[in-house]
Amino acid sequence: MALTRQRLPASKSIAKPSARSTHERLQATLRKADEVLSPRALRKVLTVLEAVIDARVSEVEGGRRAHAVALDYLAADADERRDYWSLMSEHFAADAQALRSARDQHQAAVGTVEEGQAEMRLRRALVSPRMRLLQRFAVEPEGMRFLVDLRAELLPHLKADKRLLALDGELEHLFSTWFDVAFLELRRIDWDSPASLIEKLIRYEAVHDIKSWDDVKNRLDHQDRRCYGFFHPRLPNEPLIFVEVALVDRISDGITPLLDETAEPVQPAKATTAIFYSISNTQAGLRGVSFGDSLIKRVVETLQDELPRLKVFATLSPIPGFRSWLARNAATLVPLLDEKRANELGKLTGSLPPTAERLLAAVEAPGSLDDARSPLRQWLTQCAAEYLGRAMTDAKPADPVARFHLGNGARVERLNWAGDPSPKGQKQSWGLMVNYLYDLKRLDKHRAWLANGKVAVSGDIESLFFKS
């Protein structure tokens, strides 16, 4: 029997987490105003969850019981589901006493012949009942889909309710194993793929919205276009991540020609460059599970086998965090301007020296950025170079797309003014786009640099940096 997801009422919002833990609520007799399931109903749900991992039943029977729980969960409303999460998170932790004992034994055995055996005891003690519970849900064919969707619902509530972190951590740990790239299939998606799969591409496309069937046909059916996705055996018709590729004769500087349905196609055999112009993750529940770098590597290998003339592999990427970052950091960048540029910008904005507030207001004025020689336009380009090449958050590139590609070993190659003239591109980065270059011989070197806090950039990008 397949799991059927029940649609929740659009107006139903998830309540704030209860001040009482489920341990406290289970001991109570009355429900408080901010709680959903009564103590009696809560005890019933806990009983059926415990029955899933009853040591006396087989894995198959445990899977059947988990399936029944999943059906009840899907029939519950959004607030009631929170109680399921709380029970799984709070009542299925590893035995604290057994874990403490195993840890002490391991520490005492370090450096002795007993160390290996002590390590195995510690590993077994770390396996929580919660882990076994989640594994039982995955026994049934639809169980993987259920768990991925459950985590997608859970993630937005972690900040407000730290008690759910244990459940989330266990799910992420399991997914990192179950969705290891060794178990994923790379599959080309084209115009002959099932319509249901193409409809999912349209829905999941996160970079450049697909506007029509002609648009999607242009991306999938032309000889100089490719689309590849990773698939898991338990989610056979659901791409976990997909990448759209254009085969061209040089590194692209704008998205419009790549999406132009009337453009003359490039003969694939003559193409020298592969441009990755859109990469989209599709499953919110798999956040933190990384397979994007492996996807790019596999696609590069596939394209090289098919088209040996391809030598350059690069992206044409958005800069989604640039505008908001500049709004927060412009005041720290203004003092870095050289005297000539500061005077130019001061005259334009009516303030000597220029101020961050006036500069940010000036770049929003209609027509202020049309001239390629505009000091305002040059200032924005310099700021974008600083953002991509130097801005870090928690020792990682501040921009989410930069974090992905630089973490895979690419380098920041070139900034492209008006690369994305769409309203979305303007809102994110005043239309600026960036090329990340995948130099296949230097990927490991660039990753090592990033681990030490240095971003790999081209000479053109480095020349744009403010002199500090």
Who contacts 367 (Cβ-Cβ below 8 Å, separation ≥6)?
none
- Give yes or no for a contact between 21 and 90, defined as CB atoms under 8 angstroms apart: yes
* CA atoms of 388 and 451, how far apart (whole Å): 16
- The encoded tokens of residue 223 equal 């000889």
Question: Is 317 among the residues known to form the active site?
Answer: yes
Q: How far apart are CA 143 and CA 178, in angstroms?
A: 12
Other CB atoms within 10 A of residue 315 CB? 27
Catalytic residue (choose from 317, 368, 422, 463) = 317
Confirm whether 91 is a catalytic residue. no
Cα angle 82, 18, 134 (rounded to 5 degrees) comes to 30
Which residue is associated with the tokens 């009983």? 47
Query: Helix (H, G, I), strand (E, B), or coil: what is residue 48?
Result: helix
Are the CB atoms for 299 and 243 separated by under 8 Å?
yes
Q: To 10 degrees, what angle do helices 59-75 and 129-137 make?
A: 80
60 burial type by CB count under 10 A (0-12 exposed, 13-18 middle, 19+ buried):
exposed
Phi first, then psi: what are they for 5, rounded to 5°? -80, 130
Residue of 405, 422, 429, 468 marked active site = 405
- Backbone dihedral region of 35: left (phi > 0), alpha (psi from -120 to 50 degrees) or beta? beta
The CB-side HSE value for 384 (13 A sphere, CA atoms) comes to 26
Cβ(177)–Cβ(187) under 8 Å?
no
Active site residues: 317, 405
